[in-house]
Copies of this chain bind each other. A is one copy, B any other.
Amino acid sequence: MATQTESPDPSMAALNPIVTPLMTDMYQISMAYAYWCQGRHEMPATFDLFFRKNPFKGGHTVFAGLEECLNFISNFKFSKSDISYIQSLIPYASDDFLLYLAELDCSDITIYAVKDGSIAFPRLPLIRVEGPLAICQLIETPLLTLTNYSSLVATNASRFKLAAPGKSLLEFGLRRAQGPDGGMTASKYCYLGGFDGTSHVLAGKKFGIPVKGTIAHSFICSYSSLDEIKDCKIKCADKTSVDFVQLVLKWRKDLDGDKTHDGELAAFISYAQARADGFLALIDTYNTLKSGNINFIACTLALDECGYKSVGVRLDSGDLSALSKGVRAYWKEIATKYKKSWIAKMVIFASDGINENKLKKFAEIGHEMDGFGIGTNLVTCQAQPALGCVYKLVEIDKSPCIKLSNSFAKISLPSKKDTYRFYGQDGKPVCDVLLESSEKAPQAKEVFKAFSPFTMPNEQKEIDICPVKVEPLLKCCWGKDEGKEASLLIKMPELKERRENCLKGLQAFSPDYATVDDPQVYPTYVSDKLYHTLHKLWVKAKI
């Protein structure tokens, strides 16, 4: 199995060229124009980007996509042809407005965000955008597009990892991804969420992800007999050369495997000749136990004589649990018979429509698989293919504002806010709290009065929490630092480091929250002040 970790190619770290200010919804431009007409376009505003519900009926979400958001912010500029196109869409707009758009960039906005790859919960701002109303509005759609799917697929990957602890997980989804960039985003953020590698070569090159892959059924099917092997030789580890076909046939006879498929054996021989020191065979084309596994072992014993150790097999159809047991049982028998204990320990890798439920089922009923290649269900997030991140105005002209709804779940929390994670005695997070940014930050070892935001005032009970440690979650990522030009204010860690942080971050939580099976709801509270701002506005806004 080919594998490689390489530093990302810097020439390819650039922005996806379609991620431009025009990658937005038309109404953002209509609104910017209406703000501009009323001279409101520079009114100070704050927007929160957040989601309302963890995806997959789960207990947690992995936030991802910040790197692309900051790239977008850093490069925000309408091109001349963009401006001409906008003019064609709103021919009634004045030239001054188009001039305003042509000169617009993100130098007047400030971006706060939680760490890329961190564990997040509903209603907490993932990104807080502050600045002039119109530019804040114009970046809404790209920020959502760049975080919604990234976070969704990273969360999905982290759930697969929880469902198959200790197993090697590879992302195989490119061909079923929602478009080429869907495939790139999936490969990148499945790795962030805890996957161990990808089959996707470009993602490997661009993001430094380990790349894996062997052969497909078409390779096996392309051979129908042993006569098709033109060159029968193999170069042994000691540089001598032997007739590999004869060697394999001798072993097949010894294994009493004369009924195995000749075309399959020819394909295995051919692949082993090309990849003698990393032979991993796909064994389910004709019959996994009666043909594929025997042909594989014949090659393995022949390779062993040549000084090479096979890696293992891939199963891609059938009852994977039972087949893996059958394969391993045969390997153990062979290991004993020929006194080669390593044969029993080769790798069994499986693919074929694997999803979270199948992984859980395998763990329940027992199996002999060491790793899984997962495509469609992982990358398209079949169980829930969209995360509902939204972007809501929470403060305008220094006053808090709110979007009402009939359902509590859809009411947004007003005010410019900061969030803090509280830790308990055992070092584990116990809750997240939201305060208005104007409030004093909560302190470790001091009692904090917390409120559940959506209980009514007459039912409300204050909860007193005394955290052992308090961690502010929102960090300033983009803005003006001490009078300088607006710029990036954080250094994004390498993807590999973010992956490790993500895995550690999830492990830091109690297994009551960090689980795929009926997770408990992780508590989030608001401060006394925020609670009262919310309920005051709520009453005021009711019709």
Q: Which residues of A contact B (CB under 8 A)?
A: 2-4, 6, 9, 11, 16-20, 22-31, 33-35, 37-40, 43, 45, 47, 81-82, 85-86, 88-90, 92, 133, 137, 140-141, 144-146, 148-150, 153, 172, 174-186, 199-202, 204-205, 211-219, 221-222, 224, 228-231, 259-261, 270-271, 273-275, 277, 285-287, 290-291, 317-318, 376, 380-382, 385-389, 391-393, 396, 399, 401-406, 410, 541-543
Instruction: Write out the residue numbers on chain B whose beta carbons fall within 8 Å of the beta carbon of A185.
Output: 178-179, 182
Does the CB pair A40–B175 fall under 8 Å? no
- Whole-angstrom distance from the CB of A246 to the nearest CB of chain B? 17
A230 in contact with B39 given A16-B18, A25-B172, A81-B11 (CB within 8 Å): yes
Instruction: Write out the residue numbers on chain B whose beta carbons fall within 8 Å of the beta carbon of A231.
Output: 37-39
Instruction: Write out the residue numbers on chain B whose beta carbons fall within 8 Å of the beta carbon of A11.
Output: 81
Most buried by B among A2, A184, A291, A317: A2
Distance in angstroms between the alpha carbons of A148 and B376 in the assembled complex: 11
Distance in angstroms between the alpha carbons of A406 and B318 in the assembled complex: 8
Distance in angstroms between the alpha carbons of A74 and B287 in the assembled complex: 39
A18 in contact with B270 given A174-B23, A177-B178, A275-B30 (CB within 8 Å): no
Distance in angstroms between the alpha carbons of A255 and B212 in the assembled complex: 69
Does the CB pair B183–A180 fall under 8 Å? no
Does the CB pair A178–B385 fall under 8 Å? yes
A16 in contact with B396 given A31-B215, A270-B34 (CB within 8 Å): no
Instruction: Write out the residue numbers on chain B whose beta carbons fall within 8 Å of the beta carbon of A16.
Output: 18, 180-181
Minimal Cβ-Cβ distance residue in B for A412:
B221
Does the CB pair A286–B393 fall under 8 Å? no
Does the CB pair A2–B90 fall under 8 Å? yes
Distance in angstroms between the alpha carbons of A38 and B274 in the assembled complex: 8
Instruction: Write out the residue numbers on chain B whose beta carbons fall within 8 Å of the beta carbon of A137.
Output: 218-219
Instruction: Write out the residue numbers on chain B whose beta carbons fall within 8 Å of the beta carbon of A260.
Output: 543
Does the CB pair B148–A176 fall under 8 Å? yes
Instruction: Write out the residue numbers on chain B whose beta carbons fall within 8 Å of the beta carbon of A9.
Output: 81, 85
Sample of 11 A–B contacts (CB below 8 Å)? A3-B89, A16-B18, A23-B201, A24-B202, A30-B215, A34-B270, A38-B270, A140-B175, A218-B393, A291-B543, A317-B410
Instruction: Write out the residue numbers on chain B whose beta carbons fall within 8 Å of the beta carbon of A202.
Output: 18, 20, 22-24
Does the CB pair B230–A38 fall under 8 Å? yes
Does the CB pair A145–B179 fall under 8 Å? yes
Minimal Cβ-Cβ distance residue in B for A220:
B403
- Whole-angstrom distance from the CB of A253 to the nearest CB of chain B? 17
Distance in angstroms between the alpha carbons of A137 and B218 in the assembled complex: 8
Does the CB pair A219–B34 fall under 8 Å? yes
Distance in angstroms between the alpha carbons of A125 and B86 in the assembled complex: 41
- Whole-angstrom distance from the CB of A410 to the nearest CB of chain B? 8
Instruction: Write out the residue numbers on chain B whose beta carbons fall within 8 Å of the beta carbon of A40.
Output: 222, 228, 230, 270
Does the CB pair A145–B174 fall under 8 Å? yes
Distance in angstroms between the alpha carbons of A81 and B8 in the assembled complex: 12
Does the CB pair B183–A145 fall under 8 Å? yes
Does the CB pair A382–B393 fall under 8 Å? no
Instruction: Write out the residue numbers on chain B whose beta carbons fall within 8 Å of the beta carbon of A180.
Output: 16, 18-19, 23, 145-146, 181
Does the CB pair A89–B25 fall under 8 Å? no
Instruction: Write out the residue numbers on chain B whose beta carbons fall within 8 Å of the beta carbon of A29.
Output: 2, 201, 213
Does the CB pair A38–B229 fall under 8 Å? yes
- Whole-angstrom distance from the CB of A284 to the nearest CB of chain B? 9
Partner of A181, one of B18, B26, B224: B18
Most buried by B among A4, A214, A228, A389: A4
Does the CB pair B30–A2 fall under 8 Å? yes
Instruction: Write out the residue numbers on chain B whose beta carbons fall within 8 Å of the beta carbon of A218.
Output: 31, 47, 137, 140, 391-393, 403
- Whole-angstrom distance from the CB of A175 to the nearest CB of chain B? 4
Most buried by B among A92, A133, A182: A182
